[in-house]
């Protein structure tokens, strides 16, 4: 009888131990991360939900006679697509910093003038900066057009650590967005995504100008509060 009792107790302890192991493995198992395509899609959606974003653009490797925008800094809205800030541009042979307000299809520029004047940015080889924030055709739309995305390493962005994803983007997508670029070419793209799964950086490298390889680096940081951007 005593041996039988010991056997029963041992069996019970075995089942309890197995049950604990099962619970522990279920709780400690890491969540499935998802494919690079899924991760980038989530980062895109999260950024587009932002009330507003700060935006910077820097270009390197531009040919000496390049016409258009080489830099930008300001605030953007996804709803409606809007931008307010400054552009570093070459216009009519003059390079300088211009103040710009753009709301949907309307673009206003202040360049050596006391007030804003409505312009067609394509005349100066520049994109409509408001359309950079168009959810269907803007910066974030490049994610949906990225081919063979792969997860890369991690890089530091100030106090944040970004996970990078790489791929390629067809020249048509780049040329449609920036008004420059070889439509028959291919551009390398690297995205940086925050720990909160928001798109933070976009780096494009390729034939923006004939005969040279240039790099455009874009940085977007979500703001907690909306910003008013209106036509002047």
Handedness of CA 157, 207, 103, 115 (dihedral sign): positive
Task: Judge residue 126's burial from the number of C-beta atoms within 10 Å of its C-beta, 0-12 exposed, 13-18 middle, 19 or more buried.
Answer: buried
Q: Residue 104: which of 124, 133, 126 has the closest Cα? A: 133
With tokens 């604990």, the residue in question is: 20
Q: Residue 207: which of 199, 215, 217 has the closest Cα? A: 215
pTM above 0.85, yes or no: no
Phi, psi of 165 (to 5 degrees): -135, 135
> What was the pLDDT predicted at 78?
98
The tens digit of pLDDT for each residue in 157-202 reads 989 999 999 999 999 999 999 999 999 999 999 999 999 999 999 9
pLDDT along the chain (232 residues), means of 10: 43 40 47 88 97 96 80 96 91 77 96 89 85 96 98 94 98 94 96 97 96 95 96 96
């Amino acid at each position: 009888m005593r041996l039988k009792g010991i056997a029963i107790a041992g069996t019970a302890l075995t089942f309890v131990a197995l049950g604990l192991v099962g619970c522990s493995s279920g709780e400690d198992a890491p969540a499935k991360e998802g494919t690079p395509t899924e991760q980038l899609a989530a980062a895109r959606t999260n950024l587009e939900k932002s009330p507003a974003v700060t935006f910077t653009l820097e270009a390197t490797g531009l040919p000496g006679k390049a016409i258009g925008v080489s830099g930008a800094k300001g605030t953007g809205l996804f709803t409606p697509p809007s931008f307010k800030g400054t552009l570093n541009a070459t216009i009519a042979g003059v390079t300088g910093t211009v103040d710009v307000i753009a709301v949907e299809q309307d673009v206003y520029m202040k360049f050596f003038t006391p007030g804003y004047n409505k312009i067609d940015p394509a005349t100066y080889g520049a994109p409509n900066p408001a359309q950079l924030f168009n959810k269907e055709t803007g910066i974030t739309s490049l994610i949906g057009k990225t081919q063979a995305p792969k997860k890369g390493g991690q890089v530091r962005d100030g106090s944040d650590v970004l996970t990078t994803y790489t791929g390629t983007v067809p020249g048509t997508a780049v040329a449609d967005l920036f008004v420059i670029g070889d439509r028959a070419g291919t551009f390398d793209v690297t995205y940086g995504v925050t720990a909160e799964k928001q798109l933070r950086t976009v780096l494009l490298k390729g034939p923006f100008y004939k005969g040279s390889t240039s790099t455009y680096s874009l940085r977007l940081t979500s703001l907690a509060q909306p910003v008013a951007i209106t036509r002047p």
